[in-house]
Structure 1
């Protein structure tokens, strides 16, 4: 019998994150710093809005692009937060999580053989998504010496005549690196001169601890060539609701909407009503959560450095990205031994691309108590190396 599997799918490696989760699930007394998920419940007012929508029988399909009220709230949020303007009817699409937004954005612009420049380290789904679209992912290194920002020199070194798209995620998962307006301005001329499209995943934007929150589309010359992706999972602790959105110029949105119509039809209706409430009245809950993350970040990074793990101070998201280079073992071996011998789960940085090698992704979206226990165990483990 023939092998019916798609060649594209066969080329995609399995999730490096999942490997460590599978091991951890078989063990007891695990402190997991591996999950990229807030440890807060969705704010009550947001849950209540969803319950109310169900009680009122608002359970039918919505417009393919999403509820008008939600798209208007997204428009208002982007304007007041970043001074970016979009037409709510023609330039905003509500999606089933930021993951769907990323998928349909890539598939709408990538043809077989196109090169997609991916700011590296990057979330594991980016390279796989490009490959599924028939594109070729090309890693653009964002190095610790540059605070994991994307620099013009790194970008220029990777551009070829086949380069079509630049895919970025700032604040970054896994490094916590952040791009400000000056950083985006520094690469904008390159993006324009080489006629690139920018796909900017900004799901962690609200989790920015120093400086102003920034959207790439707010920078001169980038709006017309940017697809902005965002959602509710991180800012409002709504991971399981699967609600996100993308924004782009009208003609681009028309193409993206074709794919969305066929594969998803519309995002979950109940989650859309929850999203409306989150944008209207969720700012205080978000702000309180971010303040707590900042406290945890400071405690955790200080603890890791004290334990002997060289760790830069992340400016966004909720991950620390310490280096294990000085210990003479790979990041994968370090993570596996730490899990099996000391019951602390982290993710090896190499699964996030070449620039993640010799690092660990450690989420501080867990309690302060667990963070400090984890630091103690890490310090004990390091003393045995």
Structure 2
């Protein structure tokens, strides 16, 4: 994750931030859920996996030195509000995500905290000693990484990873087709936030309030395999009612979309199916923040980002939902009985409009040739449906996807 932290550090200190009116802060569940490609052109996902409100407070201070967004979405899993700061040493300090002053401030707060046993995991209880090892790039910490990087050509992989981050504006966790097939149920019986994490959560909200930034605290959906006790639900409600009542710029949003177990890669993180559904639902819920004009016409980066996600989609029903967007049409070469029926005229020669997906076109070979696509390939070729009418050059761009008939 070093590559991600270095990219994150760079973007948070870059003038490119001025392009984004809406920003996401949070941990890995936030990184998995929010897909900018399907939300808005001026939306960026700056959530840090394994991060807590403490780290995100200092990230927000960095951001505000460059740019003041109009809205910030915040999402944390409950174990990052009361558990260890697992990512501080292994991720942030290892990559030198923060400067010396910020790290020293965090160490000082930890030293004074009554919750010290809950801040750092047992392997980092000698936290000042470990901080020095990381800060000075000493061999016990960095030598294994250097050896691994040279032996496994890690730089090439990291370069490709950073290209993906730039394309998808920070989202990477949900780019998995893995589905949660574990039948084990998990029971949540209590919702707790440590005093130090709560202090920094409130600092985030206070800073936003002072800057007149709207905040949406979104409680993200979790797998249906998780069961919540009445005590958990009550305690969670109390925590967020307190935050909402104290800060007038804050809206707390509880889960507003029902997802299936197969929309998750595990019990907490959305996969490529679930993140798409959540992102579209969020866009539709907040049309005042993400008006239709914010998503049309699509930029070249968003077009490329969406098509990259289309290549990952391996569930037919969700694929159809993805191309329901009016800017897209799927074109493929029908074979076998379907091709014969088209040739006989049983189906529309120009295209089949499938139920509500009236921008889904299943074309014969002649139609494929008409848009300069290779009809002999065993892959589906993509063209930009309604966008084609506006821009023939964009329509001629070709992208492959496995044939679905």
TM-score, with length taken from structure 2? 0.25
TM-score, with length taken from structure 1? 0.26
